[in-house]
Amino acid sequence: MRTYGQYCPIARGAEIFAERWTPLIIRNLHLGCDTFGGILEGAPGLSHTLLAQRLKQLERLGIVESVPKPQGRGHRYQLTDSGHDLFGVCETLGAWGARWLEIAPENLDPYLALWSMCNALRPERLPEQRVVIRFDFTGFRPHERYWLLLEHGETEICKTYPGLDEDLYITAEAEAFVKWHAGRLSWAEAVRDSRIRLDGPPWLIRAFPTWNARSMFAHIKPAYDRALPNRGGGPQRTAGTLNAG
């Protein structure tokens, strides 16, 4: 690991926190992803090899610990007290990003928004019976289709047809779905403009937006009125981009 060679706590903390993928690993562990595969699922682009390296490093530093699974082989990963404190840094960074950084086209990954949505569902509001929801995403990326399975308060995202009857069909522009989840677009706006369309039983259509499946930063109002200096004579633009979390 490269170091700044300074005693300053900011420098020493940044040597750990600013490693690529480390904040997302900490975030995923906080959200309850306690297996190797679960952590990977919420970090598209992270390789198996690099995740293994990062987890070993975080264990060595006392930020993450692994414990044997109660049943079967393998280990579960969890944050230590130090790791939970470090997630507080993730929260502060996320709040800053939600306030000051726009969501650019390259950040519009509907799968990640769907994965994040599943971690924000309120189990007490979910239907008691099994529900299968098909999502069709259009827009910036090629057409993407996923299935969300809800049963007994548990959720599962399938990238291939699960062989079960579909109860609700949701067709959404990737941009609209991501920005709704991130709190940049209200459900009423998205549905009114047909950017998100639902087809299925009326009770399920009414219930879906009440499951409170938005980002933990959706309540933060962006400060995009603070524009960069207009040096080129064209339209002013606001600063920065950040993946929705």
Give the amino acid at 83.
Answer: G
d(CA 6, CA 10): 9
Q: What is the pLDDT of residues 170-200, one digit of tens each?
A: 999 999 999 999 999 999 999 998 999 999 9
What pLDDT score does 225 carry? 52
The pLDDT value recorded for residue 213 is 79
The CATH architecture that domain 105-211 belongs to is: 2-Layer Sandwich (3.30)
pTM for this structure?
Answer: 0.83
| Residue-wise burial string across 83-105, b where 16 or more C-beta atoms lie within 10 A, e elsewhere | beebbeebeeebeebbebbebee
What are the E-state strand segments in the chain? 64-68, 75-79, 131-138, 144-151, 154-158, 168-173, 196-199
DSSP state of 180: H
Q: Which of 177, 175, 174, 173 is nearest to 215 (CA)?
A: 177
List all residues 6 or more positions away from 97 whose beta carbon is below 8 Å from its beta carbon: 217, 242, 245
- Percent helix, strand, coil in the chain, to 5, is 40, 20, 40
Spatial separation of the C-alpha atoms in residues 153 and 136, rounded to whole Å: 23
pLDDT of 180: 94
**Burial state string for 124-156 with b = 16 or more CB within 10 A and e = fewer than 16:** eebeeeebbbbbebbbeeeebebbbbbeeeebe
Residue-wise pLDDT for 142-161, tens only, equals: 789 999 999 988 899 999 99
Residue 227 has pLDDT above 60, yes or no: no
Q: What is the DSSP letter of 194?
A: T
Q: Which amino acid is at 27?
A: R
Q: Is the pLDDT of residue 242 over 80?
A: no
pLDDT tens-digit series, residues 109-122: 999 999 999 988 88
- 85 or 239, greater pLDDT: 85
pLDDT band at 236 (very low <50, low <70, confident <90, very high): very low
110: helix, strand or coil? helix
Class of domain 9-100: mainly alpha
**pLDDT of 244 higher than 80:** no
Domain segments of the chain: what residues? 9-100, 105-211
Q: Is the pLDDT of residue 98 over 50?
A: yes
Q: Is the pLDDT of residue 215 over 50?
A: yes
Tokens describing residue 145: 């289709």
Say which residues have a Cβ less than 8 Å from residue 46's Cβ, sequence separation at least 6: 21, 24, 25, 39, 40
- Domains 9-100 and 105-211 are alike in CATH topology: no
Determine how β-strand 154-158 pairs with β-strand 168-173.
Answer: unpaired
How much is the pLDDT for 143?
85
- Give the per-residue pLDDT at 245: 55
Look up residue 126 and give its two tokens. 């979910």
